[in-house]
Structure 1
Amino acid sequence: METDKRATALYSFDPYTFGLFLLAFYAIPYPIYRFIAHRLKWETNPKTMSRHWSDLFDGISYGLILFIFGNYSNTLRLSSWITVAAFYPSLFGYALIAELPFTKTSLPNIKNWPKGMWAVFITAVAIILVFAGYHIYLGYLLPMPFVIYYISCLSIPAVILASSFLLSKEVNQNWCRTKLYSWKTRNINKNATQQNQEQADEGTTLLPVAATPQSAHNPYTRQVAIHLHHWQIFYVLAFFTRFDHPVSQVGAGIVLACYMEGICAYGYDRLVNDG
């Protein structure tokens, strides 16, 4: 019963385990990765000390949210070495894959991906789906309604992503004001036509009244662009590898590694950017 309570907790926190979590999955791998990447001339974003400092505190903030709501107090409770053992090979394995000539591209450039990149992408999606299916099975083994909550949490990143695209549409196309202005203009012209028809029926003439053709006011001075980064994808997946089962602990190590590779190499690049 106590095990079920820990496993089905929607949030948890243990200060000691959190300290180990930050140490093992951020404080230690970050400088090691930057050093090796510099020596091997891997692709990285140049970072000033202020950017390193910002990434450090972003990492603590993102890590705290992930640790609490990803229930990592439970995931790392008994066999944290499994997650650590999966993390470090995956971190540098992902980096080596990212350094292949055909993988040096990004998600927004998906229409121009070479065949090699498509092969890597499809393989990765297949692995993720297999892990996802097994994690849903692990959730199903726990008392109801945990698995319902577990699957429903996928709606959170979906809503965030959808709202980002809606924001982009609004800013880049002035969408809301344009639709509202078009609706108002149609109503004004419709009313003017009705008034003219009424005057004509009464035997009088009236000059046509129509809305002056103007564009809707646009308060946005800059456009925005959506760029979904791999660190964001794997950060989200890390919330779902929350079980103390060895398969879930291996999965946690892999997704944490892919997330941290993006942070070590590039930093906390944003989803919504100024165009």
Structure 2
Amino acid sequence: MDGGAALGGGGFLDGCYRADDAHHGAATLVSFHFVRFVLFAVLLTVAGPLVHRMLAAFFDLERDFKSVVDHFDDITSGLLFAFLLFTLGNYAHTFGWVTLVFYFVGLLGFCLLVELPFMRVSIPGWRGWGAGTWAVNLAGVALVVVAAGFHIYWAYKEGFLQWYLPLFIFATATIWLTVFTARLNNYCVNHCPDGLGIERWLRWLALELLVWRNPSGRREAQVKRAATEPLDKDPGTVTINPDGADGSAGTDSPLGTDIPLVALDVTRDAASTRSCRERSRLLTREDKKAIIARRMEHLQHLNVRPGQPLPLYHYNLHLHHWQIFYILAFFTRFDSFASKACAGIVLGIATQGSSAYGFDRMLERQG
């Protein structure tokens, strides 16, 4: 086994775990320990939500009704969130009994807090908050700011503050980038009934390439070909030969026994002329635009029936508390009692939100 594998400790399963790291993984972006991840994932996706739902049912706490499918979706989504958080949040080094104890402190404490009558509010409705609601929320913000100050100081002591602060600012992009997306979507709904038009532009480009022709060149070639073809007979004149001899004994007459044959030739020539003219007309620029326009009216969207408008809706930002504390859980990455306790509290609060209401999205559709 080489030196890199020895430092990895567990090889394939725990290759990103360094037991001898002086910073206990705090200064390392990625870390993983298989056994601790299994325990971490079970806590966040099964044990924690199960305890919360049982207590919520026993005391009739505020929650959404969930079917078996809803619980299954919560578990699958929770596994993805847990893996990302565990790998990038240094829980391979810090997850232990301290985090476990304070996890249930945060979970149960927040359950009791949101049952207060003046705390049954949502973040988007902050304009209607009462004095008690403002006092509790401002106190919570103050505690978060104080804890953030300590974590910034610990990052400075560990020597990776130049990474810690930019990554924290980058993490807040999940909020302000969502606001920008909502504004962009609402603008497109108001001013672009066909959406951004990227798909329509690509389809238009494909149709342009498929129906592209050189109509002037085609028409010129047809004119030249028609001018060089010899006219052996006058379409209006019929030659008859009553004696069945060669043409020297015959007489020209507008009528004769060959009328059906000549009429068939005239009809064929007329049909050929009309077909040529129709093909020429199809090659004009205006008709080509009409063909493309008709094709563009029937794009294949499975969720849009013919004649119906596109399913475009306005969206608002609805920030949920589970999202806020989930983001904070990435930065409680230090091997100290206080940091581990903070990690447990924010994880417990995040679990309360996802267990009670589900992993709701930040963008909420209007109407």
2:164 aligns with 150
Matched, 1:16 2:35: yes
Per-residue CA deviation, residues 206-248 of structure 1 (Å, 9 max, x unaligned), is xxxxxxxxxxxx9772111210000000000000001111010
Per-residue CA deviation, residues 62-100 of structure 1 (Å, 9 max, x unaligned), is 000000011111112xxx111111111221110100000
CA-CA distance at 1:164 after TM superposition: 1.3
When normalised by structure 1's length, the TM-score is 0.80
Q: Secondary structure at the match of 2:313?
A: coil
Instruction: Determine which structure has more spread, i.e. the larger CA radius of gyration.
Output: 2
2:279 aligns with none
Q: Secondary structure at the match of 1:39?
A: helix
Q: Secondary structure at the match of 2:332?
A: coil
For residues 173 and 49 of structure 2, the distance between their equivalents in structure 1, rounded to whole angstroms, comes to: 30
1:268 aligns with 359
User: Which moved further from structure 2: 67-76 or 96-105?
Assistant: 67-76
Matched, 1:258 2:353: no
Is the CA contact (8 Å cut-off) linking 2:24 and 2:334 kept in structure 1?
Answer: no
* Structure with the largest fraction of helix: 1
Shift of the 116–243 alpha-carbon distance from structure 1 to 2, 3 Å rule, reads same
When normalised by structure 2's length, the TM-score is 0.60
2:110 aligns with 94
- 1:1-275 to 2 correspondence within 5 Å? 2-4=21-23, 6-76=25-95, 80-143=96-159, 146-174=160-188, 221-275=312-366
- Structure 1 counterpart of 2:153, one-letter code: Y
CA-CA distance at 1:5 after TM superposition: 6.3
1:203 aligns with none
Is the CA contact (8 Å cut-off) linking 2:189 and 2:313 kept in structure 1?
Answer: no
Q: CA RMSD in A?
A: 1.8
For residues 74 and 44 of structure 2, the distance between their equivalents in structure 1, rounded to whole angstroms, comes to: 14
Q: Secondary structure at the match of 1:270?
A: coil
- Structure 2 counterpart of 1:153, one-letter code: L
Q: Secondary structure at the match of 1:222?
A: coil
CA-CA distance at 1:172 after TM superposition: 1.8
Q: Secondary structure at the match of 1:153?
A: helix
Shift of the 114–88 alpha-carbon distance from structure 1 to 2, 3 Å rule, reads same
Q: Secondary structure at the match of 1:84?
A: helix
Is the CA contact (8 Å cut-off) linking 1:225 and 1:272 kept in structure 2?
Answer: yes
- Structure 1 counterpart of 2:181, one-letter code: L
For residues 67 and 86 of structure 1, the distance between their equivalents in structure 2, rounded to whole angstroms, comes to: 17
Is the CA contact (8 Å cut-off) linking 2:318 and 2:364 kept in structure 1?
Answer: yes
Unpaired runs of 5+ residues, structure 2, are 1-19, 193-308
Shift of the 65–39 alpha-carbon distance from structure 1 to 2, 3 Å rule, reads same
Q: Secondary structure at the match of 2:64?
A: coil
Shift of the 9–95 alpha-carbon distance from structure 1 to 2, 3 Å rule, reads same
Unpaired runs of 5+ residues, structure 1, are 179-217
Per-residue CA deviation, residues 112-155 of structure 1 (Å, 9 max, x unaligned), is 00111101101100110111001111111113xx1111111122
Is the CA contact (8 Å cut-off) linking 1:70 and 1:242 kept in structure 2?
Answer: yes
- Structure 1 counterpart of 2:131, one-letter code: K
CA-CA distance at 1:159 after TM superposition: 2.1
* Greater relative contact order, per chain length (Cα 8 Å cut-off, separation 6+): 1
Shift of the 230–240 alpha-carbon distance from structure 1 to 2, 3 Å rule, reads same
Shift of the 72–176 alpha-carbon distance from structure 1 to 2, 3 Å rule, reads farther
